[in-house]
Amino acid sequence: MSLCRAIPLWQDGVEFDAATRRGAVGRGAVDGVVEFDVVIVGGGYTGLWTAFYLKQLAPQLSVSIVESQFVGFGGSGRNGGWCSAFLPMSPSEMSAEHGAQAMRFLQDQMFATVDEIARVTQSNNIDCDFYKGGTITSASNAAHVERLHHYIDDWHAAGFSDTDMSWESADQISHRVAVRSTFGGMYSPHCAAIHPWKLVTGLARTVESLGVVIFEDSRAISIEPRRVVLERGEVRAKWVVNALESFTSQLPAGKRKIVPLYSLMVATEPLSESVWRSLGWTHRETFADGRNMVTYAQRTADGRIAFGGRGAPYHFGSSISDSYDRNTTIHSRLEQTVQEIFPQVADAQFTHHWGGPVGAPRDWHAFANVDVATGLCAGGGYVGDGVALSSLVGRTLAHQIVDTGDALTRSALVNHQSKKWEFEPLRWLGVNSLLALTEYADKAERRTHRPMKRLLALRDGLLG
């Protein structure tokens, strides 16, 4: 544990100011009152993609981004690097709320977005280690098999085929990645592995080259119609975009809109060629285990395993703190899980521990909202699926702001309003109860090999 660096793997080697951890790019802060056509609050993927597509659609617009720390400080610079086409909402849930046609349109847009990100990064010389090898979810007991088959059936019932989502045998999964034990698993080609920090910083350089002005060290105190009030100034604009995602919860009006759920990660040292020969994993598929508590992993371009998972507690009052990124119990558990799934790395050193919050709306539904009357806009609600989804949300916001009439402006993301989370202490009790029930279900399924349907139905009932 003591050998691990408590920073995201992706930021290792990046120059920061030792006292403030501000980026070394040297972007200035807002000082006084400035005016733009559009101001975007948040220097992560959502804000950068919104700025990028605004400049593609209407290059004459003056666009600024204000960031409280430095570009990529939040989830965009520390996530698991899954550029995934999947939404936090299932096809059946989407169809029930919006209709089958709207569901299909949105999901097809997500499939296309993964390739769009490849196009944009290539055409703008953003080397983010993009590799589209697909994604695997491995069933490590019989309970996982039943649940994954049900998930695939849900996709097929919605009109998708095996080319989008399919079951693979134990031999097929083992041929892809030599895990300790698999009963088979789920595979989809619609996912790429990326280097999150390279993507977010590359996007920042790209939008700056298009004329976007990025201010760092500029914390928003309030987001209001036509203006953003900052600690040391104010930005006035016709359009004000909230791209804070989980950090929306840190605004007085945002604590019940988005709950910050912590997700933690570990990374191994670069593994030897002999270890990789025993593991396989030649196509860098992103990897998850079939348990209920979310796990996610990738083989990095420099030959490590980066592995993450949920399970860290929700903190009272929707609070966010750097100290929450470090949890000895959860990080140790993640290391043990890596070694259980991949026994070939039993002797490998773990070099990095880190974490951060993901934003969860009350109904797990992403949104791209624009209010023409006030100029207030907002995008987010990714629940950990934000690498690709943020690009689609940013593009959707840009089309709405420019008023192109594109089909995106009528998608299921547009002007979706989630109900608010409960007041404290009910929120703290509820969210941590959900986490406890999920963890207990996984332990029971591991022991019995039977899916804990009633327990999980109780959990889902709490979500409402």
Phi, psi values for residue 143, rounded to 5°: -65, -40
Q: What is the pLDDT of residue 352?
A: 98
- Identify residue 308 by its one-letter amino acid code: G
Read off the pLDDT of residues 130-164 as tens digits, 9 standing for 90 and up: 999 999 999 999 999 999 999 999 999 999 999 99
Query: pLDDT tens digits, residue range 92-110?
Result: 999 999 999 999 999 999 9
Left if phi > 0, otherwise alpha if psi is -120 to 50, otherwise beta: which for 245? left
Query: Prior bond to 343 cis, omega within 30?
Result: no
- Report the predicted TM-score, pTM, of the whole model to 2 decimal places: 0.96
Instruction: Return the exposure string of 292-309: e unless at least 16 CB atoms fall within 10 Å of the residue's CB, then b.
Output: bebbbbbbbbeebbbbbb
Whether 206 is in a domain gets the answer no
Q: CA 393 to CA 35: how far, in whole Å?
A: 24
Structure tokens at 349: 């050193």
Would 420 be classed as within a structural domain?
A: no
**Average pLDDT score over residue span 394-405:** 99
Residues 160 and 304 both lie in one domain: yes
pLDDT of residue 212: 99
Same structural domain, 60 and 30: yes
Residue 284 and residue 231 in one domain:
no
**Does the pLDDT value for residue 11 go beyond 50?**
yes
The residue written with tokens 């040292």 in the block is: 269
pLDDT band at 20 (very low <50, low <70, confident <90, very high): very low
Q: Residue 121 corresponds to which tokens in the numbers above?
A: 């990064």
| Cβ-based neighbours of 190, under 8 Å, separated by 6 or more | 84, 85, 86, 110, 111, 114, 134, 135, 164
Average confidence (pLDDT) over 58-67: 99
Closest residue by Cα to residue 463 from 356, 383, 390: 383
Q: Where are the beta strands (DSSP E) in 145-219?
A: 166-168, 185-188, 191-193, 213-215
Same domain, 105 and 182: yes
Residue with tokens 């049900």: 150
What mean pLDDT value characterizes the chain?
A: 96
Confidence grade of residue 25 (pLDDT, cut at 50, 70, 90) = low
In a domain, 201, yes or no: no
CATH code of residue 172: 3.30.9.10
Question: Is 111 found in the same domain as 75?
Answer: no
Query: Would you state the structure tokens that stand for residue 132, as one six-digit string?
Result: 């589209």
| 419 is a domain residue | no
For the stretch 299-318, pLDDT in tens is 999 999 999 999 999 999 99
**In this predicted structure, what is the pLDDT of residue 54?**
99
464: confidence class by pLDDT, cuts 50, 70, 90: low
At residue 131, the 3 state secondary structure works out as strand
Which CATH number do you get for residue 244?
3.50.50.60
Residue 277 vs residues 175, 319, 372: alpha-carbon distances, Å: 11, 44, 56
Range of the structural domain that residue 131 is part of:
82-196+259-312+324-362
Number of domains within the chain: 3
Same domain, 132 and 269: yes
In the predicted structure, residue 2 carries a pLDDT above the cut 60: no
**150 and 268, same domain (yes or no):** yes
Task: Tell me: do 277 and 354 sit in the same domain.
Answer: yes
- State whether 185 and 304 are in the same domain: yes
Question: How far is it, in rounded angstroms, from Cα 145 to Cα 194?
Answer: 28
Question: For residue 318, which phi and psi values (nearest 5 degrees)?
Answer: 60, 35
The predicted-structure confidence for 240-285, as pLDDT tens digits, reads as follows 999 999 999 999 999 999 999 999 999 999 999 999 999 999 999 9
One domain, residues 234 and 299: no
What's the average model confidence in pLDDT over 331-339? 98
In 3D, which of 284, 311, 357, 273 has the Cα closest to residue 132?
Answer: 284
**Does residue 18 carry a pLDDT above 50?**
no
The string of DSSP letters for 268-335 reads: EPPPPHHHHHHHB-TT--EEEESSSS-EEEEE-TTS-EEEEE--PPPPGGG---GGGG--HHHHHHHH
Q: What pLDDT is stored for residue 22 in this prediction?
A: 52
Residues 6+ apart with CB under 8 A from 107: 85, 87, 91, 94, 158, 160
- Report the relative pairing of strands 350-360 and 367-370 from DSSP bridges: unpaired
Non-local (6+) Cβ contacts of 90 within 8 A are 151, 154
- Nearest Cα neighbor of 82 from 151, 137, 16, 4 is 137
Q: Give the pair of three-digit tokens for residue 265.
A: 């990660």
**Are 82 and 193 a contacting pair, CB within 8 Å?**
yes
Residues 252 and 263 reside in one and the same domain: no
- Dihedral in degrees, nearest 10, Cα atoms 337, 340, 342, 344: 130
Tell me the average pLDDT across 188-211. Answer: 99
State residue 463's pLDDT score.
76
Q: Quick: pLDDT tens for 342-354.
A: 999 999 999 999 9
Give me the pLDDT at residue 1, please. 45
Instruction: Name the percent of the chain in helix, strand, coil, to the closest 5.
Output: 40, 20, 40
**In which residue are the tokens 């088959």 written?**
149
Q: Check pLDDT > 80 for residue 196.
A: yes
Structural element, H or E, at residue 443: helix 426-448
Measured CA to CA, the distance from residue 165 to residue 108 in angstroms comes to 13
Cα 306 to Cα 310: distance, rounded to the nearest angstrom: 14
Do 244 and 264 lie in a common domain?
no
**318 within domain boundaries:** no
